[in-house]
């Protein structure tokens, strides 16, 4: 049974990062890039795993089942994950990173509005609240982005992964007493946003999903509103492996 630790591991006996553990629980080939999880969400999970302290990392284990089967081709997923990351980082990161996070929020909202057929200046309440905390960075971001159009394809390919990476590193290096809870909350919020888009009827949080459906999480996704549909292969959590993981990490099964 692997134990959560930093970095990539050759096999379970050497330990596991968050996504390697997910591949193990899903019964996939051992990998930190399993097919059972959306690539950007998996990238966020790997970054959070590696930037969380050794003492706090076991608490991430309870979120692992909730990413299994959580995938699809809907481009709104990338925008939502990037927005979660930028909003979490904006209030606490260093000034130069605040500018980048503010720009990422405006760009992500623009792309999401375009994909959903809404006015491009129609910001979500969460983004408005985040931007209101850093008015100087927000004014600069609006000036910087004036006349600049970010395509959904370009945002998905370049801006979203860069935003996630800058956000996690910025939080880990921020001048706060303990960045670990901020990193864990970021990952949990991103998982919740993906659940809300792919399974709107579920109405559950990442932790509830991890605890109550650990043995039966099955991946399915809909591209409603985007003109596409995705039907990923079913992904389930092996209940015996999850029970063993719970015993080792102290997580409630």
pLDDT band at 55 (very low <50, low <70, confident <90, very high): very high
Q: What is the pLDDT of residue 35?
A: 96
Q: What is the mean pLDDT of residues 163-179?
A: 97
- What percent of the chain has pLDDT above 70? 81
- pLDDT single digits (tens) 180-211: 999 999 999 999 999 999 887 555 566 665 65
84 three-state secondary structure: helix
Which candidate, 7, 22, 9, places its Cα nearest to that of 60? 22
Q: Which uninterrupted H or E stretch holds 237?
A: none
Q: What is the pLDDT of residue 202?
A: 56
* DSSP string of 189-220, one letter each residue: HHHHHHHHHH-TTT---HHHHHHHSTTT----
- pLDDT single digits (tens) 109-118: 999 999 999 9
Q: Which residue has the higher pLDDT, 133 or 203?
A: 133
């Amino acid at each position: 049974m692997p134990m959560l630790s930093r970095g990539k591991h050759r096999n379970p006996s050497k330990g596991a990062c968050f996504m390697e553990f997910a591949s193990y629980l899903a019964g996939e080939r051992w990998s930190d890039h399993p097919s059972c999880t959306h690539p950007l969400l998996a990238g966020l999970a790997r970054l959070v795993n590696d930037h969380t302290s050794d003492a706090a990392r076991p608490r991430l284990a309870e979120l692992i089942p909730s990413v299994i089967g959580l995938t699809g081709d809907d481009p709104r997923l990338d925008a939502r994950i990037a927005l979660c990351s930028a909003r979490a980082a904006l209030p606490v990161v260093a000034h130069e990173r605040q500018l980048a996070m503010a720009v990422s929020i405006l760009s992500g909202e623009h792309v999401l509005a375009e994909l959903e057929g809404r006015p491009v200046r129609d910001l979500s309440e969460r983004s408005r609240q985040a931007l209101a905390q850093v008015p100087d960075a927000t004014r600069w971001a609006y000036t910087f982005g004036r006349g600049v159009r970010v395509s959904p394809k370009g945002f998905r390919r370049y801006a979203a992964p860069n935003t996630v990476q800058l956000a996690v590193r910025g939080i880990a290096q921020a001048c706060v007493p303990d960045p670990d809870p901020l990193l864990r909350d970021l990952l949990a919020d991103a998982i919740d946003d993906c659940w809300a888009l792919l399974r709107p009827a579920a109405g559950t949080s990442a932790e509830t999903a991890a605890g109550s459906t650990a043995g039966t999480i099955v991946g399915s996704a809909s591209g409603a509103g985007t003109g596409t549909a995705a039907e990923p292969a079913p992904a389930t959590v092996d209940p015996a492996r999850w029970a063993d993981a719970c015993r080792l990490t102290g997580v409630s099964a």
